[in-house]
Amino acid sequence: MHDGKVPEVLTGALQFGIKPGLERITALMNLLGNPQDSFRSIHIAGTNGKGSVATFISSIMASGGSRVGVFTSPYLERFSERIRIIDGKAGLDKYTEDDSYGEISSEDLEKYSEQVKKAREKMVAGGLCDEPTEFELITAICFLYFAEKKIDVAVLEVGLGGRLDSTNIIKDPLVTVITALGLDHTGVLGNTISEITGEKAGIFKEGSPAVCFDPDLMILPEEMKPDVRATLISKAEEKGIELSFAGSKKAFESARFTEDGRMEFTYKGTVYSTALNGRHQIGNAITAIEAALKCGASPDAIKEGIALARWKCRAELLSIEPVIIIDGGHNPQGAESLGITMNEMLGGSLRGKPVRLLMGVMADKDVDGILQAYKTCGINIRSAVTVTPDNPRSEPADVLAHKINYVYNISDDLEAVEDPDEGTRIAYQKTLNDGMVLLATGSLYLAGQIRATLKGLIECTTI
């Protein structure tokens, strides 16, 4: 079992922050015997949709009978979510019933953390490298675990960027994948979309095909799309690899939203059904489908994998009566996707309905851009409860409330509550009283902190 606690070796590394580069992870993995070389991988980079694509691909591969290791970030409710093994179709069925299934156990987490801790001490004491970062240590734990558990394939989500991310120490991936791109982490990855795209494409490897979400379908200013395409093609040519662009306007146009909270779409003559709502998820699903085909997945495994995929806090419908949706979108592109999705969910019955916002954000995010995106997409916000997520980078609840009121002028039904759990209870009780749609959003940190609270409070028909 897993207790959700973060290993001590990792909490001690938080002070070292973000330090892109492969020197430290290379030295660390050399000391550990390079366990990452013992299994094949599917490597995923991008700005938006990495987690969704990882979920789709891992579900497809497990549906086909593979023992799949999944490494994602950040975690939402428990640290152990980041490292998971889905053992074939039987494991996938268990995961769809219990979203904690397959997570690394507390015992294994302690075991591999101790091994990594000893290697880290040896590395630093020997002057091989300076202190590794938290993410580098997590990556090392993950690789050790996957190697010892003898997985068939690892689905690895890049932490930041691609070229200098610690996951990029892997060799010979089955396929590399680039999801939707945007201007994010510009201080680290570059100031232009071309620079950022180049960093993401740094995961391309000689001998491994690459699949990229079609730039023409990305939520980007039109003038940026040719630069993204040209950069991806250039980086693929440098490596001499096959590059495929995944996307289909016809598939987007075919979307149908059912009253039980699922979405259907048609791609290359096959009708797919998914619990991940939103037309943007069609792009993620198609990207995953094309990547899975490069890995030899069967049509049946692909269709079943798409149907069984689950991904928490991405336009997740927690309840129908009253309607409660939780989403971890934290940038304007994500907010725009959410707005479009909400207008179509449940067969379009939510369009124009009054919405109560339960919101908390990080202070470094484009809050004004997020709020304007909600408004532009027609999310009819009439009420809000703001909270301060339990993170030192959080925007104070009262500051966020002021920004919301400036855009929506709802001072008569606007409440700032510091504690996320208390704010969740207040927002839920208000929604029970008036039946207003409750949308919890603004940050993955917030979504992870309040999801369990919301699920515990819900006393109505749920999905």
pLDDT tens digit sequence for 342-373: 999 998 899 999 999 999 999 988 999 999 99
Looking at 278-350, which runs of residues are DSSP E strands? 316-319, 324-326
List, in sequence order, every residue forming a beta bridge with 43; answer none if it has no partner: 156, 176
Cα–Cα distance, 358 to 416 (Å, whole number): 10
Strands, sheet with 83-87, edge to edge from the N-terminal-most edge strand: 83-87, 67-71, 153-157, 40-45, 175-178, 210-213, 243-246
Residues 6+ apart with CB under 8 A from 456: none
Phi first, then psi, for residue 354 (nearest 5°) are -60, 140
Q: Which of 313, 256, 306, 245 is nearest to 279 (CA)?
A: 256
Give the containing element (helix H, strand E) for 305.
helix 299-308
Phi first, then psi, for residue 296 (nearest 5°) are 85, 15
Cα–Cα distance, 370 to 277 (Å, whole number): 19
pLDDT digits (tens, 9 = 90+) for 259-291: 888 999 999 999 999 999 888 899 999 999 999
Domains of the chain: 8-308 (3.40.1190.10), 316-457 (3.90.190.20)
**pLDDT for position 13:** 45
Beta strand 40-45 with 175-178 is parallel
Assess contact for 10 and 153: CB atoms under 8 A: no
Instruction: Supply the pTM of this predicted model.
Output: 0.86
Judged by average pLDDT, the poorest of 14-28, 316-330, 411-425, 439-453 is 14-28
- Of the pLDDT bands very low, low, confident and very high (cuts 50, 70, 90), residue 250 is very high
**pLDDT for position 333:** 81
318-348 in b/e form (b: 16+ CB < 10 A) is bbbebbbbbbbbbbbbbbbbbbbbbbbbbee
Give the number of other Cβ atoms within 10 Å of residue 172's Cβ. Answer: 11
Report the sign of the C-alpha dihedral through residues 221, 222, 223, 224, in that order. Answer: positive
Distances (CA, A) of 122 to 24, 29, 35, 344, 373: 12, 12, 18, 55, 50
Assess contact for 181 and 218: CB atoms under 8 A: yes
Mean pLDDT of the chain: 92
**pLDDT for position 165:** 95
Cα–Cα distance, 144 to 146 (Å, whole number): 6
Cα–Cα distance, 127 to 225 (Å, whole number): 45
The 3-state secondary structure of 372-413 reads HHHHHCCCEEEEEEECCCCCCCECCHHHHHHHHHHHHCCHHH
- The overall longest dimension of the chain from CA atoms, in Å, is 64
> Which two structure tokens, joined as six digits, stand for 159?
């932490």
